[in-house]
Structure 1
Amino acid sequence: MAWVLFFDGDCAFCSASVRRVVALDKEGRVEFAPLQGKLAGEKGFSKFAATENGTMVLLRESDGKVFTRSDALIELARVLGGWWRLTTLARFIPKFLRDSVYGWIANNRYRFMGKSDTCSLPDPEVLKRLRE
């Protein structure tokens, strides 16, 4: 099953998170696309790159199901498997609480690690799985 993780390509925090997912996803199930890219625009996901209330988007290509905010993190943990599956227990936390924490991090992501004018994903393994 193919998954595409859409992320804010201008965000150093988000780019670092993508590199972590690549390192954890040994089977290469997850591909990546910047929210500022062509594919995100075609899917209508560009709006999720907003400076405030921005979010990653996880798309399950087999059926077109879209996961956002904390749901995307939980589903990503499920896809990664292994010990990460324990993170799926977070689904029992009320969504408004999970999304509040996610929103706080998303709203402060540039403060945590900065902003870039270009997507900073030079790792060859990431580039191999990057879609436009």
Structure 2
Amino acid sequence: MRNDRALPYSYRNDPDVPAFPDDQPIIVFDGECAFCSGWVQFALRHDRRGRYRFLAAQSALGRALYVHYGLDPTDYQTNILIKDGMGLFEAEGSLQMISGLAGWFPLVNVVRILPTPILNWAYHRLASNRYRWFGRHEQCFVPTAETRARFLA
């Protein structure tokens, strides 16, 4: 990964990434993964403030963001949380996603006492087995009419 990709809003200077509204955190997820789609539905229910937007990794914008961050655009081994213009991945991205939900969910930050390599190991264990354990959809997750405005692309 090039160093400039670690800068906030670096994707705005990437000609291969279409412009998109980035004034709220965005969760880029594997739209064919049953677990990931279930996570999005969970987040929609518990994001009472409506702060998150969602984007399927299989979309043109999702693919461009995966490529921008040096990730394989055909093997979605990590969700991406774009927050304040920064791409967050693996356990860190997931913990920040969960802690941004209303209610008791910020208490998830207590697991940060564990070393990052252990958190990422657990994340990768789930990610590499998600299709086997939870299944795969033939088509990407489709939002309902009520939630459509929360999705990009």
Q: Which one of the candidate residues 79, 84, 91 is aligned to 2:105?
A: 84
Structure 1 residues 97, 42: CA separation in 2 closer, same or farther (over 3 Å shift)?
same
Q: Which one of the candidate residues 20, 27, 37 is aligned to 1:5?
A: 27
Letter of the structure 2 residue corresponding to residue 50 of structure 1:
D
The alpha-carbon deviation at position 73 of structure 1 amounts to: 1.4
Structure 1 runs of 4+ off > 6 angstroms?
none
Instruction: Give per-residue Cα distances to partners, 1:63-101, cap 9 Å, x unaligned.
Output: 311111110111112221421011012222101100111
Tell me, in whole angstroms, the C-alpha distance in 1 between the residues paired with 2:110 and 2:74: 27
Taking structure 2 as the reference length, the TM-score comes to 0.75
Report whether the alignment pairs 1:101 with 2:85: no
Tell me, in whole angstroms, the C-alpha distance in 2 between the residues paired with 1:14 and 1:27: 21
Stretches of structure 1 that go unaligned for 5 or more consecutive residues are none
**Equivalent residue of 1:58, what SS?**
strand
The structure with the larger Rg is 2
Q: Which one of the candidate residues 62, 87, 92 is aligned to 1:66?
A: 87
Q: Give the alignment of 1:1-132 within 5 angstroms.
A: 2-43=24-65, 44=68, 47=72, 50=75, 54-60=77-83, 63-132=84-153
**RMSD (Å), alpha carbons:** 1.8
Contact 1:19–1:126, Cα closer than 8 Å, also in 2: no
Taking structure 1 as the reference length, the TM-score comes to 0.86
- The answer to which structure has the higher helix fraction is 1
The higher relative CO (CA closer than 8 Å, separation ≥ 6) is in 1
Q: Tell me the percent identity.
A: 28
The alpha-carbon deviation at position 10 of structure 1 amounts to: 1.1
Contact 1:22–1:125, Cα closer than 8 Å, also in 2: no
Stretches of structure 2 that go unaligned for 5 or more consecutive residues are 1-22
